[in-house]
Every structure is written in structure tokens, then in C-alpha cells.
Chain A
Amino acid sequence: MPRVQSAAGFGDSGEISGVVWSPRRSSAGKSIADTGAEEALTAARRGDEAAFRALYRDVQPKLLRYLQVLVGADAEDVASDAWLQIARDLGSFRGDVDGFRGWATTIARNRAMDHLRRQQRRPVVHGTVEDVAEPAGPEDTAQAAVDSVATDAALALIAGLPRDQAEAVLLRVVVGLDAKAAAKVLGKRPGAVRTAAHRGLRTLAAHLEATPPPGQTPQE
């Protein structure tokens, strides 16, 4: 049950806001941008609208890409729902920017699970790489994915992974969480999330290997 999983780390939406995220988990990777985000978070908690905007611009694309893989075309609606809750509960959030990203992602994931439950269907991601890549042609998709601007193609490839691998890869790579924070979002152990992410990468690499690299003809 997704709800149980996500509840393991954070409780339900009501309790989520009280969670204190351990600060400075990845301080080594802290950039100047993160320092700015840190200030934005503080200001937004106090009610600063411009600061909230900055947080939105930082987090929303990440959430949306993650949600796209979970709920497909409904990602924007689910993201809107999530932001309603984020906006409402931000005042009671305690933690740093990394914590905020994890917290917001958990909210988004809970909303996505609610959405899927309402729809009484399984998440979009459940097949293999080939299944999802089929409509556009697997080779085209893979080809486009290696282009640095082909974000959607890359996401489509990741979406083709088994769900636990896709989520693990997305949370680490796209949302930018470390294994521990990703595990918290998923309600799993960090080791399990790490393994799932590694498997996901290997599957992706295998898929890329099976398709010709860019600039080469399929004949080659």
C-alpha cells in the first residue's frame, strides 16, 4: 500500500508539516544557489511571496517530472494539489532547503497516490523500457534522450523502468535527493532505494547500448 509506505516516514499530510528534516545532509554539495534557496525558504516561511515564488521555480519542475512518471498526463493537476498543501503548511515546516525538497516531494507523492487510488488504476509505470518506448519507436526515443535538451525523452525512458527503479532514479537524479532522503520519501530503507536506483541505471545503460548512438546510422 503506497499510503502505508509513505506514511512510514512522515505520517499523513496533517503530521507531515511537523517533521524536522535533518539539516545540511549534503553540505559538501551546497552551492551559492543553495544558499540563496536557503534564504528564500526562510523568507517564504515568514510569508514572503517573492521568496515563495523562488521556491516554486526551484522545486516545481522537479516535482512535475517526478509526477509525470507516476501519474502521466495528470501530473500538472496533482502538482497543483500538492502546491496547495505546500503553501498551506509551509509555515509549520522545519528544516533546510534539502529538507524542503524532500518534504514537498513527499506531499506530491502522497497526492499522486491519492490520485491513483481515486482512479482505481495502477501507476503509469509498470512495464519495461520497450513497452513505454514503443509508440515513438524505441530507437528514436533513445536517440533523442541522449540529446541534452531532450528531457521528455529521457523521462520517457526512465518511466519505462519498473516503478521502484524509476522512482529511485528520479528522486536521486531529477529531484536531487540523496539516498537517505529519497528513502524517507518512499518509506523504504536507504539500501533498498540505492539498489533500485543502481538497477535502474544498469537497465537504462543496457537500453542505450542496444540502440545506436547519435550520429551513427542504424546500419552501423
Chain B
Amino acid sequence: MSDHRFRRISRRTAERLLRDAHGRTRATGHERLSDLLAAASAPARDRELAGEQAAVVAFRDARLATAPQRRRPRMLKIALANVLTVKIAAVAAAAAGGIALAAAAGTLPGQRHEEPAPAADTNVVATTSVTTKDKPNSPDKKPDNSASPSPSLKGLCQAYTAGAGSEHGKAHENPAFSALITAAGGADKVPAFCAGQLDDKPGKSDHSPGKPTKTER
């Protein structure tokens, strides 16, 4: 039966078969192959769409998941920034504590402008932690070894105040603000507490929005 071999398919015919499988154009001399390809690409059968509802649910879930995410990043960013502030300040206070304390105590008067071994950022943060230690109102809440909470409270206050307009309700739920709420003595006391915190240090809050630097004027 197969003493005559099948007709060899030219590249051109092959391309046509591949392209026109949907169009049902049958290549002359290759009808059976055309039929086979047409069968392979035949319209959907019901059982092939069995997963439709699950896919639609996934689509719905994906939409629901992305909607809140659009609001979240801002609060997360703020919270993250504060956590970072705390950490950097703490690390810097621990690592460069000696230098910072020495600088604060004025025991290294000649070296202050010379910027010794620690890098510039260390000095900046060390200065921050030192200056916060100078504040009279923070030490009465926190012991001496936790120099960082003060800037973090201030940062939290700034974040809280900045977000108060738009995300007012959410701020209380955000775990990042729990420290602030605790420090203030209650969620309702936060605004007053923050007003005190921010007003207290006008010189330091150079990056707090909308706040003129009264002392320098």
C-alpha cells in the first residue's frame, strides 16, 4: 500500500497549512493533514471551559487585592520611614555613641569640624540623637539608654499630622502609630500630644511641612 511515498510538503505549503488551520483552507494533496489540523484547532468544547468560574473568581480577587494596595503604600511608606529613623538612630547611637556623647559633652572641641573616621551619615544621625537627648521633655518619659524614641515620636507625629487630613481613620489602626498613641496616652490625645511635640522643637523640624522656622527669623 505504501509503495508510493507521501507527497513531500514544501515549505510554502507547510506555512499555508500552519497559518490557515483556522481558515479551513485545505491544501491540495494534503486534505487529510488539513483535516487533522482543523480538528486540532476546532472550536472550544464545553468541558474545556470548566474552569471559567474559578478564573473569573481569581480575576475578581486580583482586582479586590489591588484596590486597597493603592492606598496602602503611602501609610506603609510613612511607617517604614519612621521605623528606619528609629533603627538608624539606635544603631548610630550605639555604634557612634562614644563619639556622639563626646561631641555632645564638648570634650572633642578641636575635632568637631574635622569629621573623624565615621562616615558623614553617621555624624549626621549621631547629631540627631544627641540633640534629642538635650530635649528636656523626652527624658522624663524614657530612660537614658533609649535615645531614639524621641525622634521617632516626632516623626510619628509628623506622619500623623500629615496623614490626618486624608487617612484620619486609618492612622489609629496602623500599628506604626501604636507607639505614638501609647506615648500620648490615648488615640484621642494624639493631636494635642503631637502639637506639643512639634511646637517644642521648631529648630529641628526643618523638614516638617508648612512650618516656618520661627527661631531663625
Interface residues in chain A, defined as those with a beta carbon under 8 Å from any beta carbon in chain B: 29, 44, 47, 49, 52-53, 56-57, 60-62, 64-65, 76, 79-80, 83-84, 86-88, 90-91, 145-151, 153-155, 157-158, 169-170, 172-174, 176, 178, 194, 197-198, 201-202, 204-206, 208-210, 212-213, 220
Given contacts A61-B43, A202-B9, 16 further A-B pairs with CB under 8 A are A29-B19, A52-B56, A60-B52, A61-B45, A65-B48, A80-B51, A88-B62, A146-B32, A146-B35, A148-B39, A148-B42, A155-B40, A173-B18, A201-B33, A209-B5, A212-B1
CB neighbours (8 Å) of B15 from chain A are 194, 198
Task: Enumerate chain A residues within 8 angstroms of B65, measured Cβ to Cβ.
Answer: 88
Top 4 A-B pairs, shortest CB-CB distance? A209-B6, A61-B44, A87-B59, A154-B39
Cα–Cα distance between A206 and B59 once the two chains are bound (Å): 44
Given A49-B56, A176-B22, A201-B18: A60 in contact with B42 (beta carbons within 8 A): no
Beta-carbon contact of B5 and A201 below 8 Å: no
Closest Cβ–Cβ distance, residue B143 to chain A (whole Å): 46
Complex CA–CA separation, A64 to B55 (angstroms): 13
Which of A64, A90, A151 is within 8 Å of B40, CB to CB? Answer: A151
Judge whether B21 and A151 touch: CB under 8 Å. no
B49 to A: closest C-beta gap in Å: 6
How many residue pairs at the A-B interface have CB separations less than 8 Å? 142
Given the interface pairs A61-B48, A76-B51, A145-B36, the reply to whether A209 lies near B42 with Cβ below 8 Å is no
- Counting chain B residues whose Cβ lies within 8 A of the other chain, the interface size class is 35 or more
Contact B62 A151 (CB under 8 A): no
A208–B36 touching, CB < 8 Å:
yes
In Å, the complex CA distance between A146 and B42 comes to: 12
- Measured CB to CB, the closest approach of chain B to A170, in angstroms, equals 8
Chain A residue, CB-CB nearest to B33 = A205
Find out whether the CB atom of B48 lies under 8 angstroms from the CB atom of A172. no
Can you show 29 pairs from A to B with CB atoms below 8 A apart? Answer: A49-B59, A53-B56, A56-B55, A56-B56, A60-B48, A60-B51, A60-B52, A60-B55, A61-B43, A61-B44, A61-B48, A80-B51, A80-B54, A83-B51, A83-B55, A83-B58, A84-B55, A86-B55, A146-B35, A148-B39, A151-B42, A172-B19, A176-B41, A198-B9, A198-B11, A201-B17, A205-B6, A205-B9, A220-B1
Bound form: Cα–Cα A174–B18 in Å: 9
B38 at the interface (CB under 8 A from A): yes
